[in-house]
Structure 1
Amino acid sequence: MLQIANVSKDMGEFFLDNVSLEIQDGEYLVIIGPTGAGKTILLETVAGIYESDSGEIYLDGREITDAAPRDRNICMVYQDYMLFPHLTVEENIGFGLKSKKVPAGEIREAVMKYATMLNIAHLLHRYPGTLSGGEQQRAAIARAMVMSPRALLLDEPLSALDAKTRELLRRELKSLHAITKTTVIHITHNFEEVFDLADRVAIMNQGRIVQVGKPEEIFRKPKDRFVADFVGATNVFKGVSTVTDGLAVVTVDGLEIRAHPAEEGDVYVSVRPEDILISTEPLASPVRNAFPGTIRDVLHVGAVVRLTVDAGTEFIVALTRQGFEETGLDVGDGVYIAFKATAAHVFPGGNA
């Protein structure tokens, strides 16, 4: 539905470098990446706020690269609301429709529809200065949605809100998307928003899209070391891989870790802490990776306990607090760890 093809934009400190991305009709795409990666410029270029230096943008098969923002039918919402302080909530939400000379009755109906969806119908008579941050953001989103946009662009819409309000508004965004099927592109730094909202996630770095996929794929199968570090991959080891029986056999500090995909040469191999089994006895299940080790550290992190196990190289193993208490394990105990070859992910760049 929305196609970004080889788009570049140089604004000095911030830039886009040959970005290509396709978004499907009705998809909720979340973009993440470090500060300065080019996320906001990408959205503003799609919205028409900036003209690209090169490349093309298509909406429903129609090129909109040089189209004025008002002719794109794309709406953008920023984290700081940008409501008109002298207008009521109702007037703010209906502003775009009024400027298009839509009849007053239709404006009122559309305003009430989205104000109700976003739980602010009782605030329509108020002014923005009397609202909480969450209420102002709901009004800003409603103002965009009454325009029936083909795409809704959200630039960190929840980042200025407190934790409870973020959670409530996250649920409302999810419900709004489920009802309206509007195509959404949402920038965030919050991984909870990624897992709660995204159909797919795109990671940006230094003006480029470096990986696109479903949230589970991005977090479990990072494409390179940058992505692995950015999504918080804990067990990432550099080693040398050979291929045996369709599996990568990665030698790391004398250990042979069997993993996917079957790549040869200098590589990284990663395994998520929650995918590692731990026991005081050798595990009977036919897992491809099993090593004896010793617990070197125990760290309590909320409802999760992270164990550092020295098995020739150090692995982080995650257990629920209840699971940890049931094991009776402690620092200095000898244990066995095990994980499937499918839980270990290989990506190139071990010589980097």
Structure 2
Amino acid sequence: MIKIENLSKDWKEFKIDQVNLEVKPNEYFVILGPSGSGKTMLLELIAGIWYPDSGKIYLDNKDITDASLEKRGVGFVYQNYMLFPHKTVFENIAFGLNLRKIPKKEIKIKVQEMMELLNISHLKDRLPRTLSGGEQQRTALARALIVYPKVLLMDEPLSALDRKTRDELMLLLKEIHQKFDITIIHVTHNFDEALQLADRVAIMKQGTISQVGNVEEVFRRPANGFVASFVGVENILKGTATMDGDVTQINTGNTVIVSTEQKTGPVHITVRPEDITLSSQKVTTSARNVFEGRVKEIADLGTLIRLTIDVGDPLIVFLTRQSFLDLEINIGKSVWTYFKATAVHVF
């Protein structure tokens, strides 16, 4: 539905640099990245708010690189909603239909249907300043959806909302995605939104795309050190990989870690903390990676306890509070760590 080829735009203080991206029809696509990575700029290039210096943008196989904003067939929901302050909720939602010269009677019916879908019918005569953040966001969504765009672009649509309202709107976005059969591109730095909503994600860094894939792929098998660090992989180690039969052995200089992924030469490896199990005594297990170590640090995260275990290399392990108490963990305690070869990602 969206195809971007070698897209570049230089604003002098920042640039989008040679971006290539494809978003499938009816896909919920999330663009993740730290602040200043270019997520909003990329969205605005797709929308037609900016024109690129080079490269192409296609929508539904049609070249829209030089098309005006209103002719692109996209809806845009900004982080700060951008509602017209002196128009009522009804008038805000009806705006796009009025531009298209739709008959008044038809507008009334369409807007009423949209307000009912988004549960804001009771707000129709209210001005934006009298609405809560969640109500403003529902109104902004209704205004974007009323013209049935092929693609809905959303710039951090949930970032200004409290947790309860954000959770409610995430459910609403799932419903909208299914009901409207629409392609959605959603920009955020919030992992919860990506995990709950995305069919696929792209990770952005300094105006470039670092990795694209489904959520499992990107979060468990990051393509490089930046992605691994950004998505919260706590255990990132360097080493030299050699093949040993059907497995790879990675020598870090302190330990030898086994992976089922086949690589040779200088590599990085990642192991997610939740994939590592812990015991106070050595036990028989199918895990290929078994190391004895000592507890170096203990951090209380509330529901979880974060441990740093020195097994030659530092390993971060998460325990539930109950497991932590059962194992009688303390600084300096000797423990055993276990993780499967399939849990070790090599890049």
| TM-score above 0.5 | yes
Task: After TM superposition, give the deviation of residue 260 of structure 1 in Å.
Answer: 4.2
Distance 2:221 2:115 in 1: 40
1:236 aligned partner, one-letter code: I
Give the Cα separation in 2 of the matches to 1:344 and 1:304. 22
Q: What do the CA deviations read for 1:54-99 (whole angstroms, capped 9, x no partner)?
A: 1111111111111111111101111111111111100101110011
Please report the TM-score for the alignment, with normalisation by the length of structure 1.
0.95
Q: Could you tell me which residue of structure 1 aligns to residue 311 of structure 2? A: 311
- Which deviates further from its counterpart, 320-329 or 19-28? 320-329
Deviation at 1:307, TM superposition (A): 1.6
* TM-score, normalization by structure 2: 0.96
CA distance in 2, matches of 1:283, 1:4: 52
Task: List per-residue Cα deviations over 1:320-348 (Å, max 9, x = no partner).
Answer: 2233333333333221111011101111x
CA distance in 1, matches of 2:282, 2:13: 54
RMSD between superposed Cα atoms in Å: 1.3
Q: Any idea what the Cα deviations from partners look like across 1:223-276, whole Å, max 9, x if unmatched?
A: 001111111110111111112123221112321001242211111111000000
Q: Who is 1:342 aligned against? A: 342
Distance in 2, Cα, partners of 1:49 & 1:296: 52
Structure 2: give runs of 5+ residues left out of the alignment. none
Higher alpha-carbon deviation: 107-116 or 85-94: 107-116
The AA in structure 2 aligned to 1:19 is V
Percent sequence identity over matched residues?
50
**Corresponding residue number in structure 1 for 2:253:** 253
Number of paired residues? 347
Deviates more, 1:326-335 or 1:337-346: 326-335
After TM superposition, the structure 1 = structure 2 runs for residues 105-184 of structure 1, keeping only pairs within 5 Å, are 105-184=105-184
Report the equivalent of 1:215. Answer: 215
Matches within 5 A, 1:294-309: 294-309=294-309
Supply the distance in 1 between the matched residues of 2:260 and 2:36 (Cα, whole angstroms): 33
The SS at the match of 1:98 is: helix
Whether the aligned pair in 2 keeps the contact of 1:14 and 1:41 (CA below 8 Å) is no
Contact 1:260 1:346 in 2 (8 A): no
Aligned to 1:350: none
The residue number in structure 1 matching 2:34 is 34
Task: Please say if residues 94 and 146 of structure 1, whose CA atoms lie closer than 8 Å, have aligned partners that are also in contact.
Answer: yes
Q: Which residue of 1 aligns with 2:14?
A: 14
Please state whether the residue corresponding to 2:336 is helix, strand or coil: strand
Provide the rounded CA distance (Å) in 1 between the counterparts of 2:13 and 2:157. Answer: 23
The residue number in structure 1 matching 2:90 is 90
Unmatched segments (≥5 aa) in structure 1: 348-352
CA distance in 1, matches of 2:20, 2:127: 41
**In the superposition, relative to structure 1, how do residues 328 and 116 fare at CA in structure 2: closer, same or farther (>3 Å)?**
farther
1:109 deviation in Å?
2.4
The offset of 1:279, in angstroms, is 0.9
